[in-house]
Structure 1
Amino acid sequence: MSTPTRPAPGASEDWIAALRFDDQGLIPAIAQDARTGTVLMMAWMNAEAVRETVRTGRAVYFSRSRARLWRKGEESGHVQQVHDIRLDCDGDVLLLRITQVGGIACHTGRERCFYRGLDLSGAQPAWVDQDPVLKDPASIYGRPDPHGH
């Protein structure tokens, strides 16, 4: 897959104006494995994160908990190389088709953040882990859970 075409410096930003950010200046972004189609994660982007993602070809998000840009993989090394960016019909959700370096997108050490499934077989519905931990988060981040969950 090829890298997205970068806008020329000083180019019009009509492409950014087409995005419908929420009242906090954010837009949801879904990261999807470009090869398999697996949805890996969802994060938020502000206009600066979108611009940097387009400029560098690597996924950059806005961390609401840290209140700053979050360059995916800045701590873990598990960067996301962006191949394609799509905008939904309403202009309010982005889809990033990416290659996940290292095969781990989730801070829990799993391939994807959507690793829990709702089990309806018991008396009460329950969330059940369905995907294995590929690497212990402590060995990635030097602490058990970088998000404190």
Structure 2
Amino acid sequence: MFKQWEQAPRGTQLSLDEVLSELKTNEDGLIPAIAQQHDTGEVLMMAWMNRASIEETLTEGQVCYWSRSRQTYWRKGESSGHRQRLVSMKLDCDGDTLLLQVDQQGPACHTNRRDCFFYELTPDGVTLTTDPNSGMPAA
């Protein structure tokens, strides 16, 4: 269906149910979701969602993921207070990755860093680019 839909003109409306039914998920029914700060473009994290967490996020405006390690729903910031408010949700052209533009309150990473991408890989090795528990770039 995504091949057919990609030829549709801008402004075409599709049924949410129909699109969610066509998502390309893994064998566990999960789809990767990238969280991006809406006003800066900063990529914060990647997590997994399923149909129910997508629907809850769209309805409530509070981002809800599926925790593979805990096998339960994970409402970002539920215990830490570092919530993610949904600004927009987009789906890529293949229907296999979500992009969530969010308003992140506090650090996004469980290490209390601003984002989860703090390992920089180069041919010479790997460098940590931020300090733990600070959310600030390393000096």
TM-score bracket relative to the smaller structure: 0.7 to 0.9
Identity %: 45
Q: Which runs of 5+ in 1 are unaligned?
A: 1-10, 137-149
Count of paired positions: 121
SS in 1 for 2:117: coil
Give the distance between the partners of 1:21 and 1:119, measured in 2 at CA: 31
Q: Are 1:76 and 2:88 an aligned pair?
A: no
Shift of 1:134: 4.5
- 2:5 paired residue number: none
For 1:19, the equivalent position in structure 2 comes to 23
TM-score by length of 1: 0.76
For residues 45-99 of structure 1, the C-alpha deviation after alignment (integer angstroms, 9 at most, x for no partner) is 0111111111101110000000011010111110100001010010000000001
CA distance in 2, matches of 1:79, 1:60: 10
Given candidates 53, 57, 64, the residue that maps to 1:60 is: 64
State yes or no: 1:128 paired with 2:131. no
Cα root mean square deviation, aligned: 1.7
Residue 65 of structure 1 aligns with an amino acid whose one-letter code is S
Task: Write the distance in 1 (CA, Å) between the matches of 2:16 and 2:114.
Answer: 37
For structure 2, the 5+ residue unaligned runs are: 1-14
Q: Does 1:97 align with 2:96?
A: no
Q: SS of the residue aligned with 1:40?
A: strand
CA distance in 1, matches of 2:127, 2:62: 32
Aligned to 1:112: 115
Could you tell me how far 1:112 is from its partner in structure 2? 0.2
TM-score between the two structures when normalised by the length of structure 2:
0.81
> 1:128/1:12 Cα in 2 relative to 1: closer, same or farther (>3 Å)?
closer
